[in-house]
Amino acid sequence: MTRNISYGASPLLASKTPVWRSKFIVAALAFAFAGLAGRAAYVQVFGNEFFQRQGEVRFARTLELPANRGRVLDRNGLILASSVVAQSIWAIPEDVDKNDPQLPKLAKLLEMSLPELRKRLGPEDKTFVWVKRQVDEPVAKEIAALGIKGVYQRREYKRQYPEGEAAAHVVGFTNVEDRGQEGVELAFNEQLSGRSGSRRVIKDRLGRVVEDVRDVVPPVDGPDLQLSIDSKVQYFAYQKLRDAVREHKARAGSVVVLDVRTGEVLALANYPSYNPNRRQNLSGEQLRNRALTDSFEPGSTMKPFIAALALEKGLVKPTTPIQTAPGRLAIGGSTISDSRSYNVLTVNEVIQKSSNVGTVKMAMQMSPREMWESYAQAGFGQKPQLPFPGAVSGRLRPHKSWRPIEQATMSYGYGLSASLFQLAQAYTVFARDGELIPVSMLKTDDTVTGAQVFSPAHALSVRKMLEMAAGPGGTAAKAQTMGYSVGGKTGTARKQEGKGYADKKYRSFFVGLAPVDNPRIVVAVMVDEPSTGQYYGGLVAAPVFSETVQQTLRILGVQPDISVKPQIVTEVVEESF
């Protein structure tokens, strides 16, 4: 049965509703729509920039397009440093399954333990973490093949150094951000870096690019940098230095080779060294560019400067006799000694025999100011003009504070300090007819002009003395080089320890030039703390000089200037400190 219901009879419909209630509801709805319209207007018109900015913060990213760092080349165009593509591994930790069976394989490929990998995947930031930067391309491909969720790769550039340990202190290295940290990489970082580009994109939460939002600014690659270094000379010098340090169980050593025509640095080697391609657990001993950063008392290598100044002042001639007997000289309560008594020696022989007494007698005829000015003009006490990190200026005290005994000891290399590089540059005075030439780490084919320190005639006279010192009867017969005439001076200096000098710690060095009549190169060698019983510069450093000179001149195409004769050196080397 159908039941009829009369809705019009409902008492609710019969009740009277206040008019204000309906008006209130309508007004409320109107205000609500007005508020929504106002909010929409604010978001889309008045506050649009703010909300656009907030949207970009969450989804838009500016990707840096790294510039390819310029290569470092030797003087012949051989690569000393270059950039290669390397993938860097990153992850979104919250997306990575910590129990993924592929994680042990990933850890092995990344050369880390599984606990270490899991620790890296559990940082406070759950959206991004670097797992490992700059892995080799084959490893990156194996990692990609694992297909681990939440692990991704980013393309970067990695520096490679083909010459390894031999050129490490010259070239230096960069960090994972491709910024120079040592050597040429640091000194010329801005030039090599180029200019990075950029790309503005929208990314999703997985880091995938969804859309480009503006034009790409392309990167500008860094230009190549060509050094004056000859990689063949560099490698050979390093090899011979390394062998000498190991043979004499020394602490360290350095070699510097300069081209005296152009002022170019052909080689600058140190040992111990390091492999810039693998820099784990490096020590300061390995990183120090000792040829530039270490200063020491140069010992007898300063005697030729005293002889040159005495000639310049007209105090002596090369054949002027000087009485050195009995091999001792008292000054201000101190005694200066030779290794033995030589009696009367000419100025030539004073340098040949390395007589302390003869050198002091020449020096004490000069004023301290004259000696100081001569040393300063030769570059001592001044930082080498090289754009290279860590180069030291050495120490040359003002002449006004010199006491007589200090003037005496400074004449044979005690009481002042210099780096091996400063010594090498200073000896260009004798190789370039009295000129101190500027030096360069960059390739140049121009002949340089230097500052005149001594007259050409007196520089030539000292060069002949250096030839005698490196020949029979001198202190460095082992500096002789097959096919080429050489000249140079030994040095053997006690090492400072506390306020005095150590009894059994020495630095052995030799600085010389070749060929004598028309010098092309200056080579300086230093060996620190030889400990096998031999410590004289003529026995420890001179052989390294000999082999480096011979190889360098051959590489440069310099014709031999003396006939090659088999020689056996049986002479006992004596040297004054």
Give 564's DSSP letter. Answer: -
Active site (catalytic) residues? 300
Selection from 18-22, 39-43, 440-444 with the highest mean pLDDT: 440-444
The more confident residue out of 234 and 502 is 234
Categorize the per-residue pLDDT at 166 as very low, low, confident or very high, splitting at 50, 70 and 90: very high
pLDDT tens digit string along 521-566? 999 999 999 999 899 999 999 999 999 999 999 999 999 988 765 5
Q: CA quadruple 522, 528, 531, 537: dihedral positive or negative?
A: positive
pLDDT tens digit string along 276-304? 988 777 777 888 899 999 999 999 999 99
Q: If you average pLDDT over residues 80-100, what whole number do you get?
A: 86
Q: What is the DSSP string of 31-91?
A: HHHHHHHHHHHIIIIITHHHHHHHHHHHHEEEEEEPPPPPPEE-TTS-EEEEEEEEEEEEE
Q: How far apart are CA 174 and CA 189, in angstroms?
A: 9
Judged against a pLDDT cut of 60, whether residue 213 lies above it is answered with no
Report which residue type is found at 567.
Q
The more confident residue out of 258 and 570 is 258
Here the tokens at position 448 are: 């340089």
> Which of 116-125, 220-229, 371-380 is predicted with the least confidence, judged by mean pLDDT?
116-125
pLDDT tens digit string along 450-462? 999 999 999 999 9
Nearest residue to 289 via CA among 172, 458, 410: 172
Q: How far apart are CA 505 and CA 499, in angstroms?
A: 14
Q: If you average pLDDT over residues 299-314, what whole number do you get?
A: 96
- What confidence score (pLDDT) does residue 326 get? 92
Judged against a pLDDT cut of 80, whether residue 50 lies above it is answered with no
Q: How far apart are CA 285 and CA 507, in angstroms?
A: 16
Structural domains in the chain plus CATH codes: 60-83+154-227 (3.90.1310.10), 231-555 (3.40.710.10)
Q: If you average pLDDT over residues 503-509, what whole number do you get?
A: 89
Helix H or strand E encompassing 546: helix 542-555
- pTM score, whole prediction: 0.82
